Amino acid sequence: MMKAIYTLQIGKNATRNNEYCGYRCKEELLDALLLTTLVSARNFSKVELYCDKEAVALIKADGRDFSHLKLIPCLDKLDWVHEHNWAYAKIYVYSLQKEPFVHIDIDAILWDGVPKELMGKKYFCQLLEYVDSWVLYNNSFTDIQQHGLVPDGIKKPRYAFNMAVFGCTDMKTAKQFLQKYEQVAREYCIKNAPLMGKLKSIYEQCILFEQLFIVSLLDNEGLVLGRDYDTILETYQKENYPNSRYTHLIVEGKRDERNVQAIKWRLQYLTA
């Protein structure tokens, strides 16, 4: 079985946009973390959280049983990262892996694990986002072109990935690719930070280097959608993976009161 991994770098992200790491408060962040990792503990060989010291302290102070979750505090070294480049921590964590893994965002839940059909693919993610129909991708890419920020070898592909879930099944071939991906993201974060005050697409920087650059890098490797990598939720695959139950409380979804209460109710059931 592959392992499930998560990332939580609190640091500068704690109170971004008057939220706590994207949640209304730290208690709701911890509820979401506990629920998704408890579910993953049932479906994967092990569950790991790559985090900073502040996250470790937060979890220990919570008082609930997180013993199913291995805490790996290694992200304090990323304090140099600009707050608007927060997604870099995830890509850094990918590059540390030595065995097959699926990275799951804290606001996502793979209720039944990874569909077995995807285990034959080198990589998989949540779904495709077609660039031509997403104004944010087009405007953001044009913005960084005008500021000379597009990394060498990166071209705007037809689609990007939604990376709430990202998995690698064969680390023999993935390790070098993930290290290249991390290098491109790191150099981009260094280069774009001084221009944050001039960019129109400040809040879209993460979707560019996390979700779009990776597809360009896969293209450079000659990898093909369907043959070498695939997605869990893309429309044409619903018949391929009919038994995959998946929840992603994207953006406002995690702050919706109904969903907040649903998480609490499900936690009561799982921890009873």
272: pLDDT strictly greater than 90: no
* Structural domains counted in the chain: 1
CB neighbours (10 Å) of residue 233?
17
* Token representation of residue 151: 């990394």
Question: Which pLDDT belongs to residue 244?
Answer: 59
Task: Give the C-alpha separation, 32 to 93, whole Å.
Answer: 20
Rounded distance between C-alpha atoms, residue 111 and residue 236, angstroms: 21
50-61: burial string, b at 16+ Cβ within 10 Å, e else: bbbebbbebbee
Q: What are phi and psi of 155, to 5 degrees?
A: -125, 155
Confidence (pLDDT) at 238: 45
Please name every residue paired with 23 in a beta bridge, in sequence order, or none if there are none.
20
CATH code of the domain covering residue 178? 3.90.550
Q: Which of 18-22, 111-115, 186-190, 259-263 has the lowest mean pLDDT?
A: 18-22
The tens digit of pLDDT for each residue in 41-86 reads: 999 999 999 999 999 999 999 999 999 999 999 999 999 999 999 9
N residues, the chain: 272
The set of residues, in sequence order, having a beta carbon less than 8 Å from that of 11 and lying 6+ positions away, is 52, 54, 75, 76, 78, 79
Residues 6+ apart with CB under 8 A from 141: 131, 150, 156, 208, 212
For 218-266, what is each residue's pLDDT tens digit? 999 999 999 999 988 654 444 444 455 888 898 888 999 999 999 999 9
- Whole-angstrom distance, CA of residue 269 vs CA of residue 59: 20
- What pLDDT digit, counting tens, does each position of 80-126 carry? 999 999 999 999 999 999 999 999 999 999 999 998 888 889 999 99
Domain holding 62, by residue range, is 3-271
User: How many whole angstroms separate alpha carbon 90 and alpha carbon 223?
Assistant: 22
